[in-house]
Amino acid sequence: MTIPPAIAWAAGVIAVLVAAMPVTRERLTRFAELTGLDVTTADAGRIVAHFARLRRRRLVAVLCAVPVTGLTGDPFYLVVGWCAAALLSRPQAGPPIYRTSWLLGLTCAVAAGGYLLATDGVTSTRLAHAAVAAVAAVVALAVSLRFPAASDGTATGLAIGHWSARSLYLSGAAIALSAAFLTPAREPVPERSASATTSYATERAAFTDVKKLAAPTCPFADDTDVPCRAWLVNGDPFPQAATYLIVEGAPPRRAPFARSHDRKAAVYLDRYDRRMMYHHEAELRALTGPLTDGEVPEPTFVRQSRYVALTHDGARIIDTGTWTTLSVPDADHVHDLNGSGFVVSTASEVRVLDHRGRVRMTRPLRKDDAYHLRPDGDRLVVVNGQRVDTYDPSTGRRLSRVTAGFTGDAFLDAAVGWAGDRLLVRDAYSGRLYRLDLGTGEVRRR
């Protein structure tokens, strides 16, 4: 791993300050507790001299390591500087657990280093780490085998020798493990738009009916199978449709893909030229010019495939029969549209407009309301659950409020159209269609 230069220098300064701290009474107490030694006044001077000598060596080593750490941003060299002093001591043979810990640390470091070299390749930094760790291992082995300290036979001498052996082996293990795990981070892969053109698909698919539609599931994985990176139309990849939109400061979201209620047409963002496209069997027509990901509108089909509404900072309603367009600047959603006008909503209200864009009626926007405009434009029906309200758009007055008169397990699922002056509704239980009388709430099988 690498760290920012400011943090590397700050860590080096802290290490120097800690290494320069004098030997304290607490250090002697900890030494006595860990070794089980009863320290006398005569022994205290010898113990203090040992730790003072170790402190001087560590301070020199850390001072040498700080510039290297600061310039490279690699904390491994700070670990080496801190542990190097213990490698230069002359220990006696300590408990076997210390040597076992060192050998275990070396084994783990070799295994981890070999895995990283095999998966990520050889780098100059990894080679430098390996060389330093190898030198530290050789020094530790040489010190422990060839230069054992002669014991004076006293308890203090044995305690100091064992303490030195402990420090030697643990420091060697720390250097080896740091060499393996404090490796530089991999260079980040440049982020790219998931909806950008890729080389795996340059053909354009066609359809007669959009019977099944499945969204992509892997926006950034270039090495996976094609189907998870494309919209699926009737189970086959539809490569010309963009998959994801990337906008700065926001998480990726799927690019729009809408199909008409009769499943004969679709509107989607073209992957290659970045236009919103209307696709109806063999007919292909651009609805917009080239767009950035932040400008892409949300398409909605209204009244089968005759009208398409594109909403983004306002709405554009396109008649696919005549290819005329009407713009509603502050509309957020188009609810219904027919030959007499259309129903749109803004952030706070619902509006009934004629085809010239003139407002005929407004009412507050309420959650879960569904709006349906009668083909002649004389009635607006608002459905919420089982309640059905009818309004006169010319005056804004409510004419009636009824509850759908279903019996038994049947209940109103949604309004799907008109049958003369009656609202055509669907039963949620059976899926059957009924005609609903707006004055009485009576329902009759179609």
Can you spell out the DSSP letters for 224-272? S-GGGGS-EETTEE-TTB--EE--TTS--EEPPEEE-TTSSEEEEEBTT
pLDDT at 384: 92
Same domain, 155 and 259: no
- Residue-by-residue DSSP string for 368-403: T-EEEE-TTSS-EEEEETTEEEEEETTTTEEEEEEE
pTM: 0.47
C-beta of residue 233 within 8 angstroms of C-beta of residue 213: yes
The CA–CA distances, whole Å, from 368 to 371, 382, 384 equal: 10, 10, 6
Work out the number of other CB atoms within 10 angstroms of the CB of residue 98: 21
CATH of the domain at 419: 2.130.10.10
* Domain-located, residue 304: no
Query: Are 140 and 46 found together in one domain?
Result: yes
Domain hosting 271: range is 204-297
Mark whether 249 and 118 lie in a shared domain.
no
User: What's 212's DSSP letter?
Assistant: -
- Whether residue 43 is contained in a domain is answered as yes
Task: Using alpha carbons, list the distances in angstroms from residue 391 to 303, 362, 395.
Answer: 21, 11, 8
Residue 53 lies in a domain: yes
Count the neighbouring beta carbons within 10 Å of the beta carbon of residue 427.
19
C-alpha–C-alpha distance, residues 320 and 332, integer Å: 21
| Among candidate residues 181, 213, 235, the one where a domain is terminated | 181
Do 138 and 217 sit in the same domain of this protein? no
277 and 209 in a single domain? The answer is yes
- 314 is a domain residue: no
Number of separate domains in the chain: 3
351 and 272 belong to one structural domain: no
Task: Assess if residue 89 is contained within a domain.
Answer: yes
Instruction: Please give the pLDDT value at position 195.
Output: 38
Q: Are residues 49 and 162 in the same domain?
A: yes
pLDDT (0 to 100) of residue 186: 44
Instruction: State whether 47 and 151 are in the same domain.
Output: yes
* Domain co-membership, 265 together with 400: no
Spatial contact of 423 and 443, defined as CB atoms under 8 Å apart: no
Same domain, 100 and 20: yes
- pLDDT per residue, tens digit, the chain (446 aa), is 556 777 878 888 888 888 788 877 777 777 777 776 766 666 677 777 777 787 888 888 888 888 888 888 788 888 888 888 777 766 655 567 767 777 787 788 788 777 777 766 677 777 888 888 888 887 777 766 654 544 555 676 667 766 777 777 787 788 888 888 776 544 443 443 333 333 334 567 778 788 888 888 765 544 444 456 788 888 888 888 888 888 888 888 889 999 887 888 899 999 888 999 999 877 889 999 999 999 999 998 876 567 888 998 888 888 888 888 888 888 888 888 887 888 999 888 999 988 777 899 999 999 889 999 998 899 999 999 999 999 999 999 999 999 999 988 888 988 888 888 899 999 988 888 999 999 999 999 87
Residue 121 lies in a domain: yes
pLDDT score for 410 = 86
Residues 74 and 161 in one domain: yes
User: Does residue 44 lie within any of the structural domains?
Assistant: yes
pLDDT at 404: 92
Any domain includes 324: no
Separation between Cα atoms, residue 105 and residue 174, nearest integer Å: 8
Specify the long-range contacts of residues 398-402, CB closer than 8 Å, at least 24 apart: 399/438, 400/438, 400/439, 402/437, 402/438, 402/439, 402/440, 402/441
Collect all residues with Cβ–Cβ distance below 8 Å to 20 and sequence separation of at least 6: 55, 59
Task: Give the whole-angstrom CA distance, residue 382 versus residue 361.
Answer: 13
Task: Quote helix, strand, coil % in the chain, to nearest 5.
Answer: 35, 25, 40
What secondary structure letter does DSSP report for 439? T
Same domain, 364 and 436: yes
For residue 323, what is the DSSP state? T
